[in-house]
Amino acid sequence: MDFFSSMRVSTSALNAHLVQLNSITSNLANTKTTRGAHSGPYLKKEVIFSAQVDRENFAEILENEFDEHVQGVQVIEIIENPKHLQKVYEPNHPDADSQGYITLPGINPVEEIANLITCQRSYEANVTALEASKSMYTKTLMVIG
Amino acid sequence: MFDFTIHALKTSLNLRTLKHNILCSNISNENTPGYQAKKVEFETQLRDALHLENRLPKFGTHTDHFIFTQLDAIHPNVYEDPYGNPSLNGNTVNRTAEMAELTENQLLYETSLELLKKKISLLKYAISEGERSH
C-alpha cells in the first residue's frame, strides 16, 4: 500500500481509455465502410472494461487486507458487434446485393462523439489523480531533505 | 523522543494514503460496468482516539507495562457506497464527488506532512543544541 499502487491504478485507466479512444476513432472513420478487415462490412468495435485488483506480485496478496479494494481497470475484450448492421437501398453501389441493398456498419456518429467526450473527461480525471499521487509522493520525500 | 504527536501524524498519513489509493481506484473505474464506488471511513475513529488519548493516564500502572496508544486500535472501514446513484451500466462512481474528495484528501495529507516536518525540525533544533556554534 503505497503511492506506486495508486499510480499503477491510474495508469491502467489511462491505458484502458486510450484503447477506447482508438476504437471510437476507428468507428467514426468507418461509418460508411462496406468492406471491413474480414469479409463483409466493418463491424462496430465496443470496448469492455473490467475492474482488476492491483497486485504487483504474489507476496502482495498476503500483505494487506485493503489491497483487494484498490482496483485498476483493464480492457478484457474488444467486441466487434454485428447487431448494429444496417441495410440501405443503394442499387448502384458496387457492393449491392441482388435486391440492391448494401450493408453499412450502422454507427451513430452522435453516440460515438458522446462516448469520445466521456472518454476524454475520464482520461483527464485520471491524469489529475496521477498528478496528485506524484505531488504527494514528492512532498513526502521533502520531509527527509 | 518520538512523542504522541509524531505517532498521530504517522497514523494520519497512513490512513490518508489508503484513502488516496481507494479514491484513485474509484476514479479509474468510473466507466467500468457494475463497479461499486468505495468509501473509506476513519476520521471519527481518529478523532475519538486523539480525544481518548488525552483522557487516559499517560503512564502504565507498572513500569514493565507497555503503553499502547489508542491510535493502534484504529481500523479503517472500507465499504461500498450505499447511497451511490447507479448509472445505466450499474456503476455508482460520481466523478465530481471523487475529484473533490481527492483534492481534500491531498490537502489534508500535505497538512499532516507539514506538521511532521515542523516536529522533525524542532527535534533537529534540539539535537544541534539550537544550532549553537563553537
CB contact under 8 A, A1 and B17: yes
Residues of A in contact with B116 (CB under 8 A): 143
- The pTM (predicted TM-score) of the whole model is 0.86
**Chain B, nearest residue to A53 by Cα:** B25
Q: Does A122 touch chain B (CB under 8 A)?
A: yes
Amino acid at B123: L
**Mean of the per-residue pLDDT values for chain B?**
85
The pLDDT assigned to B25 comes to 95
pLDDT tens-digit profile of A64-94? 677 788 899 999 999 998 888 999 999 999 9
Percentage of chain B modeled with pLDDT above 70? 84
Residue labelled with grid coordinates 466493418? A42
| Chain A from 15 to 44: CB within 8 A of any B CB | 16-17, 20
CB contact under 8 A, A66 and B78: yes
CB contact under 8 A, B99 and A135: no
User: Closest partner residue to A3 among B17, B35, B95, by Cβ?
Assistant: B17
Phi, psi (degrees; rounded to nearest 5) at A78 = -115, 110
SS3 B30: coil
**Mean of the per-residue pLDDT values for chain A?**
90
Residue labelled with grid coordinates 506532512? B113
Residues of A in contact with B21 (CB under 8 A): 1, 5-6, 9, 66, 70
Please compute the mean of the pLDDT values over residues A118-136 and round it to a whole number: 96
Contact criterion met (CB below 8 Å) for A118 and A21: no
Contact criterion met (CB below 8 Å) for A76 and A48: yes
Residues of A in contact with B75 (CB under 8 A): none
Phi, psi (degrees; rounded to nearest 5) at A114 = -60, -45
Q: Is the pLDDT of residue B124 over 90?
A: no
**Chain A, nearest residue to B114 by Cα:** A143
Q: Does A116 touch chain B (CB under 8 A)?
A: no
C-alpha cell at A31: 461509418
pLDDT tens-digit profile of B10-54? 999 999 999 999 999 999 999 999 999 999 999 888 888 888 766
Please compute the mean of the pLDDT values over residues B119-134 and round it to a whole number: 81
